[in-house]
Structure formats: C-alpha cells, structure tokens
Chain A
C-alpha cells in the first residue's frame, strides 16, 4: 500500500496550485481518502475527505470555498486544487487512506482513521 504526493512548489499569494496523490498496492476505488497538512514546526490539521465514489466531499472551515478535492478512480489518483493561496497555507500536505467505510452524517464515508499516509509534498506560499 503506497501513497505518493506531488505538485508542491513555491507559489505567490493569490495563485492556485493542484496537488496529486497517486495510490498503488490496493483497490483505490474502495477507500475514502483524506488530505491533512502540517505547517512548519506545527501540528497536524485535517483539511478534506472524499468518499470512495467521488460523490461526497467535506472540508475544514479554513479551506472550505478555496480548496477542492477530487479523485479519478481510473487513474488511482486523488487531487487537491488550492485556490486563492495565502501565506498561512504554507505546509507539508499529506494524503492518507481511510481504512474503512461507515455512515457519517447520512453519507457513506470513512471510519475517520488515517492509515497509511503518503510522504507529503511541500507547498510554500510567498511573494
């Protein structure tokens, strides 16, 4: 089971960036996948989750309306489109698999556990 993030770079405030998370070693379309970030020297912050079928998505308040999660099950890949980037979005961005399925707020989502994680990709928002 492996997740590999890519797409991180240095970007100016206000610009957009798309991250990718390539999965291998498991049946990608059977699992919800999350994005989590970690600012330099700080703790972990959950950002978003997408259901296994791609029909349902949820976001943390700081990124709702700016970030968009999507997935292409034919390519075993999850994406995070980040718009209107701010300096405070500077962080390492991780994708993580949710190992199970359960009903969450009326929607078939994950269990809420994160296992495994990718190695992360660094996004730096700076002028």
Chain B
C-alpha cells in the first residue's frame, strides 16, 4: 500500500497571499495524483487530477505540480472560500486508493 504524507498539517495564510501545500508518496505514483478540497460540513470536491490538470470549473488560482513522489498544490491569491482542508490521493497503484492526512488552510 502506498502511503501518502501531507505537510504541513495546518497552514496559516492571510487572504490574498499564496499557499503552498506538499504531498509525498512512499513510492512513485507517476502523475496519478489528485487533490481534493473539503469545506466544513461538505463533501470533498475534486480540484486537480493527473497531478496538474484542473477539474471542471476549478479556478486558475489553483495549480498542481510534481511527479513521482513529490507533489505540490499552490493556491495563488487566497480567497475567503479557499480556507478549507485539502487532501491528496494517489491512483497509480490501486486498490487500495490512498489519501494523505490532509492540510488545513486557515486564516492568519
């Protein structure tokens, strides 16, 4: 099973600033990496797949990068609606699908 590790656990950012989230895989997952956003009381929503492709209707301020074992999610110019928990998930070697523990982006 591929273990996904996200850092930091919590990221405090001011509105308008840039947030950089990191996800590491215990073995290579190629580019088969997705990012999800989850707001309190809501279901997760797919943001990024293929490590860098934005899902439908996802704003351009969200960008994903990386390949192999190290990945980043960058949110440029954080808006109020972006404060949430973000999860990475690998789908290179499954089942099982595996998620990282999440990064909470909070208002500084």
Enumerate chain A interface residues (CB-CB to B < 8 A): 34, 43-46, 49, 58-61, 94, 104-105, 111-120
Q: Across the interface, name the chain B residue whose C-beta is closest to A59.
A: B95
Using Cβ atoms and an 8 Å threshold, which residues of chain A touch B102?
43-44
Residues of B within 8 A of A113 (CB): 34, 46, 49, 91
List 6 tightest A-B contacts by C-beta distance, closest first: A112-B91, A115-B46, A117-B43, A46-B97, A58-B95, A44-B99
Separation of A34 and B32 alpha carbons in the complex (Å) = 17
Q: Is the CB of B46 within 8 A of A120?
A: no
On chain B, the number of residues with a Cβ less than 8 Å from chain A's Cβ atoms is 24
The interface residues of chain B lying within 8 Å CB-to-CB of A116 are 43, 45-46
Give the residue of A60, A104, A105, A119 whose beta carbon is less than 8 angstroms from that of B43.
A119
A61 partner residues in chain B, CB cutoff 8 A: 96
Decide if B22 is an interface residue (CB 8 Å cutoff).
Answer: no
Q: Which residues of A contact B101 (CB under 8 A)?
A: 43
Tell me if A46 and B98 are in contact (CB < 8 A): yes
Interface positions of B (Cβ within 8 A of A): 32, 34, 36, 42-46, 49, 55, 87, 89-92, 94-102
Given contacts A43-B100, A59-B95, A94-B44, 18 further A-B contacts (CB under 8 A): A44-B89, A44-B102, A46-B97, A46-B99, A49-B97, A58-B95, A104-B95, A112-B91, A112-B92, A112-B94, A112-B97, A113-B46, A113-B49, A114-B44, A115-B55, A116-B45, A117-B43, A118-B43
| Partner among A34, A43, A118, A120 whose Cβ is within 8 Å of the Cβ of B97 | A34
With A112-B94, A114-B36, A114-B89 known as contacts, the answer to whether A45 contacts B44 (CB < 8 A) is: no
The smallest C-beta distance from A27 to any residue of chain B, in angstroms, reads 17
Q: B22: shortest Cβ distance to chain A, in Å?
A: 16
Tell me the complex Cα distance, A120–B36, Å.
Answer: 16
Selected contact of A49 from candidates B44, B45, B95, B99, CB within 8 Å: B95
